[in-house]
Amino acid sequence: MQLEELMQTLCEELGVENVEPNESGVIEIAVDEDVQILIESAPEAAAIVFSASIAPIDASLGADAFRVLLEANLNIEETAGTALSIDAEEGEFVLVRMLRPDDLTFETFDVELATFVTVLREWRQRLGRGDLGQEAETDPIEQKDHNPILRV
């Protein structure tokens, strides 16, 4: 399914008006007051991309923060298939997930979006607490089987 169809179905499921991409082709979804997810189609990568800011890069975290993030990317149990990265322009840690639209169903999209929100919240907590040397508070992040309440 293409992004437009997936978003239309998501909006129908939530009982809200359909959202339109901005002039850059990005759809912004507010999960709650603090969590905004950007969703866009990336034809050059043949992918649908979720992205979100985790936290500003805090120099006091030091090199250990980057080591922990890289290790988490390698150990996908802590990221559930997402990628932790940095946005040097914005000075932020970011979370990104790429999905292939060719065989993507709405059900898979829904689960992936819910899982993305769960992973985002976990890493926001870890970075906010500055306890990157600690294991995640929860067991390895599981794929979610329900959609978070979204405000579009």
Q: What local confidence, expressed as pLDDT, does residue 93 receive?
A: 92
Q: What is the pTM of this model?
A: 0.81
Q: Estimate the share of the chain in helix, then strand, then coil, as percent rounded to the nearest 5.
A: 40, 25, 40
Q: What is the pLDDT of residues 133-142, one digit of tens each?
A: 555 444 444 5
Q: What percent of the chain has pLDDT over 70?
A: 84
Q: What local confidence, expressed as pLDDT, does residue 109 receive?
A: 92
Q: What is the pLDDT of residues 25-74, one digit of tens each?
A: 899 988 888 889 999 998 888 899 999 999 888 878 778 778 888 899 99
The string of DSSP letters for 99-139 reads E-STT--HHHHHHHHHHHHHHHHHHHHHHHHT-TTSPPSSS
Helix axes 3-14, 106-129, angle to 10 degrees: 80
Helix/strand number for the chain, H first, E second: 3, 5
Q: What local confidence, expressed as pLDDT, does residue 130 receive?
A: 64
Q: What is the largest CA-CA distance in the chain?
A: 45
Residue 116: band (very low, low, confident or very high) from pLDDT cuts 50, 70, 90: very high
Query: In whole numbers, what is the pLDDT of the chain averaged over residues?
Result: 82
Nearest by Cα to 123 from 45, 41, 35, 48: 35
